Structure 1
Amino acid sequence: MPQFDPTHFPSQIFWLVVVFTTLFLIMWKFVLPRITEVMEMREERIGADLKRAEEAKAEAEAVLADYEAALAKARAEAQDILRKASDDMAEEQAKRIEKANADIAAKLDEADQRIAEAREKALSHVREMAGEIAEATVERLAGSADRKAVDAALDSVAK
């Protein structure tokens, strides 16, 4: 094998240095700057993406906070509406109860008046019946009775 022959070493070393230097210069001048540029672009893109992600996260948190505030406000409004409806219903119920109590009181007064009238009527009938019975009793016992005398006697007994 010729590459292992020591007589060929100087030419091989020469070509090794030339090829190595050429490849090194090509890599240093052309390839490495492009690789560095691509890596910097990727780094910038990743940084920009991270920044946008942080902004989106902050925006999402703000939207969530707004949503929770709106939800709390809606719950408070619902509680106010329920409380107002409950108060209105209680007020309406109190008015109905008051009206029913007034109606019942009016009916009781009317019933008391009818009872008083019925009592007066019954008492007048009792007085008339007592007068007739007393007159009939006096007629049986005495033979004749004066209606005015019987009424006067009944008036004195009633007082």
Structure 2
Amino acid sequence: MFVTAANAQTPDAGGNTPPDGSGEDAVLHGETGAGAGHDAGFPPMNPEFFPSQILWLAITFGLFYWILKNVLVPRIGGILENRRDRIAIDVEAAERAKQEADEAHAAYEQELAEARERAHSIGQDARNDAREEGDVQRRKLEAELDARLDEARERIAAAKSGAMNGMDELATDVAETILRDVIKLDVTRDEVSSAVAATRS
């Protein structure tokens, strides 16, 4: 139908067809204008492009999932595993120090009880001398216990401090990895450490 209309030439007022094919140009121009009126507009909203958009969405999602599974998750998992091991070691050291402190306290209690028994036994024979000797022994034992307890407290405090530092380092490493690799933010380690310290306070 369009071929017939395009090949037809419109005669002029004298009944002659124009030799330059202007009638054909007019028909073609009319067809072009009519076709232009049926354009869909914005391509992403055109249903004709939905299959290709869905395909690229699936490809992009698959690539992101592969990167997340094979790059980011193993790195974060390795960091968490290393920090977990270090924290476990620090906690174990703190528990050993606490056990040693408990043993020292128990030994002190036993020695103190023995010293009191000895002082009581001696006091029956010579109360004044026994009391003085018992006080000397008690002060000596208390001084030794205080020294042991202070040493144990220092070791416990050092172990706890090491564990907390390990947790701060873990949080800093995880936050830095997420901000740099996942969110793609350019941050320094000092900024991340400051932010982690601010959350603790």
Larger helix proportion, structure 1 or 2?
1
Higher relative contact order, structure no. (Cα contacts within 8 Å, ≥ 6 residues apart): 2
Q: TM-score, normalised by structure 1?
A: 0.47
User: Which one has a bigger Cα radius of gyration?
Assistant: 1
Q: TM-score, normalised by structure 2?
A: 0.38
